[in-house]
Amino acid sequence: MTCDALIIGAGHNGLVTACYLARAGMKVTVAEKNDWIGGAAVSRELYPGFTYSNCSYVCSLFRPEIMRDLELPRYGLQILPYEGGVVFMENGDYLGMFRDHDANRREFARHSPRDAEAYDRYSRDIMRHCRFIRPLLMRTPPDPSSFKPRDLSELAYLGRKAMELSEVQISDMIRFWTMSISDFLDGYFESPVIKAYLAVSAIIGTALGPMSPGSAYVLLHHYMGDVDGNVGAWGFARGGMGAITQALKASLEASGGTIKAGHGVEKVLVRNGRAVGVELDNGETLHATRVISNMDVRRTFLKHVAADELPSDFVRQVKRFKTRGSSGKLNIALDAAPKFTALPEGAPNLRGDLHFTDTVERMERAYDDWKSGHFTRDPFQDVMIPTMIDPTMTPPGKHFMSCFVQYAPPRIEGRDWTDADRDAFGQACVNQINRFAPGFKDLILHMEVRTPRELEAEVGLTEGNIFQGELTFDQLLFNRPVPGYAQYRSPIKALWMCGSSTHPGGGVMGAPGRNAAAEILRDARMGIDMSDAYAVL
């Protein structure tokens, strides 16, 4: 039996592609190695009664066009904006974030009256950059080395868009894309803690420090999303991040697609330079007219495709593709809400992201540790307690806490992580939280610690890189994943890519999956209505 499309990996991008193809009338099968689906967008009960978003943990980037096209709300997806946010400071004070503009201004003014009034211009400037780049997310990147009409017209589109901007804006934009977030923030703010808070989005998931050039772009990558039109806002998926992939699964099944979970793909079968199916690790063979890999590009082509089927230049570029993981994760079941001594009673800030790194310098030093192959003893953590907002994930009064931690290298001084390393890593993070919330340790009912090693072993992300490849210019746009193959196609006919290794990259965005589907359908001369990128008036 042959299906029209076989998708390797039931992560969110694989499922997005699958849904679009199924809706267009293809017979679609998704093969998933784990016996659960979702990849890194998953909710799992790892402690009785507690749902963990144990990989990705917040949602903003997931494209509303996709939710709408695939009717995900109908299949149970609900996105909840979150509130607040706080940086706990070494001196016992804190910087809180407030959704209310004036409350936020006054909070900033506690730290610097000037910065309080600088924040509006900063937000305006970031939004200007977002407005330019957002429409590019849902477009296949042109190949600048090609003279094909489609590439030329797409390049012309980009050129026209750029020429709509003034000289000052173009200059500012190029400067912004190439500089470090630390230097960029210096242009607006003086307060170290305000800079530390705003630098966060520039390092999440990245093998860069806040002082690395190019980190400002990463910030943009995290600001390009929105919650119901509120650009830059972040939220939770009700029921954990698995709610996204569960809704995709339901949507897929409603359009007649099937998911085969529990057996990984051993290899992609290639006949006469054309992908014809896959062989599973139980020896089963699945035939397909086309194969689409949601795995990262290194895993796909270095592990599951025979090297002699690929041009050596391509293999070489794939080997060069950088997937260095930089983060770890703690998932914690809590008996009660932790009490942070610095925060006054009634502060809404725990309903958002919690940080314990109050200077950009501390973040950068943690990055220096990563570069030299160590996890850091003074980690940067992006902590969330989604159960402050989402009542579905734990028993009442109990909480689930997600701690995203930087920096954790893929290997420790060139060797693999050991269990002892992992435990020490987890302990460093817990100790940091405990310093600001005495008694926190005693609330822990269960804790899962994940280093890049666990992330790779379980979810299959090479080196534990959450973006399936670093977000530096050499791996963005037409360079992603490798030059000449940025249009979701591979050197092998009928073998496609749809994961975050492709444009526009990682984050639970779904854009690579949709763009890949658009290319596949175009290639198959099949049409389907896809809603336009939301109008940016």
For binding to another protein (CB under 8 A), which residues are involved? 96, 98, 100-103, 105-107, 109-110, 113-114, 116-118, 120-121, 124, 127-128, 131, 144-145, 162-163, 165-172, 174-175, 178-179, 183, 186-188, 208, 211-214, 313, 319-320, 322, 344, 346-348, 361, 364-365, 368, 371-372, 472-474, 478-479, 482-484
Name the residue nearer to another protein (CB basis): 113 or 273: 113
Q: How far is the CB of 156 from another protein (least distance, A)?
A: 15
Query: In the complex, what is the shortest distance from the CB of residue 125 to another protein, in angstroms, rounded to a whole number?
Result: 9
Q: Which residue, among 292, 301, 294, has the nearest Cα to 499 in the 3D structure?
A: 294
Could you give the CA distance from residue 41 to residue 468 in angstroms, rounded to a whole number?
13
Taking the complex as a whole, the smallest distance from the CB of residue 494 to another protein amounts, in Å, to 23
- How near is the Cβ of 59 to another protein at its closest, in Å? 25
In angstroms and rounded to an integer, the radius of gyration of the C-alpha atoms of the chain is 22
Nearest to 21 by CA among 515, 447, 535, 537: 515
Of 68 and 371, the one with the shorter C-beta distance to another protein is 371
d(CA 160, CA 148): 18
Strands 354-355 and 86-88: parallel
Cβ-based nearer residue to another protein, 91 or 166: 166
Q: How far is the CB of 15 from another protein (least distance, A)?
A: 30
Shortest Cβ distance from residue 112 to another protein (Å)?
10
CA nearest neighbour of 220 among 140, 134, 115, 326: 134
H or E element at residue 45? strand 44-47
Q: Indicate the residue type of 274.
A: R
242 neighbors 386 (Cβ within 8 angstroms): no
Question: Beta strands 495-497 and 285-293: pairing type?
Answer: parallel
Nearest distance from C-beta of residue 159 to another protein, angstroms: 11
Q: Which is nearer to another protein, 159 or 527 (CB)?
A: 159
Q: Judged by CB, which is closer to another protein: 388, or 520?
A: 388
Closer residue to another protein in complex, CB, 322/493:
322
Beta strands in 373-489 (DSSP E): 380-384, 399-406, 444-450
CB of 518 to another protein, least distance (A): 23
Residue 488: C-alpha distances to residues 8, 150, 484, 512, 516 (Å): 14, 15, 10, 8, 6
Residue 533 near residue 135, CB atoms below 8 Å:
yes
* Cβ atoms of residues 200 and 463 within 8 Å: no
Neighbours of 446 (CB within 10 A): 14
CB of 222 to another protein, least distance (A): 17
Tell me the closest approach of the beta carbon of residue 381 to another protein, in angstroms. 21
Cα separation, 84 vs 75, in Å, equals: 29
Query: Helix H segments across 204-354?
Result: 215-223, 242-254, 297-298, 312-320
Under 8 Å between Cβ of 44 and 52: yes
Check residue 78 and report its DSSP letter: -
Cα-based torsion angle of the residue sequence 85, 89, 94, 97 in order, rounded to the nearest 10 degrees: -30
The residue type at 115 = D
Shortest Cβ 341–another protein spacing (Å): 12
Before 407, cis peptide (omega within 30)?
yes
In this complex, which beta carbon is closest to another protein, that of residue 98 or of residue 440? 98
Complex with another protein: residue 18 or 97, whichever CB lies closer: 97
Q: Nearest approach, Cβ of 43 to another protein (angstroms)?
A: 32
In the bound state with another protein, the residue whose beta carbon lies nearer, of 8 and 181, is 181
Nearer to another protein, 262 or 484 (CB): 484
Phi and psi angles of residue 358, each rounded to the nearest 5 degrees, phi first: -100, 5
The one-character DSSP state at 437 is S
Nearer to another protein, 211 or 524 (CB): 211
- The Cβ-side half-sphere exposure at 435, using a 13 Å CA radius, reads 14
Give SS3 for 33: coil
Query: Any idea what DSSP says for residue 42?
Result: -
- Where do we find the tokens 């749809």? 498
By beta-carbon proximity to another protein, the closer residue of 245 and 349 is: 349
CB of 328 to another protein, least distance (A): 21
The nearer residue to another protein, 282 or 372, going by C-beta atoms, is 372
Short-list 190, 43, 51, 176, CA closest to 116: 190
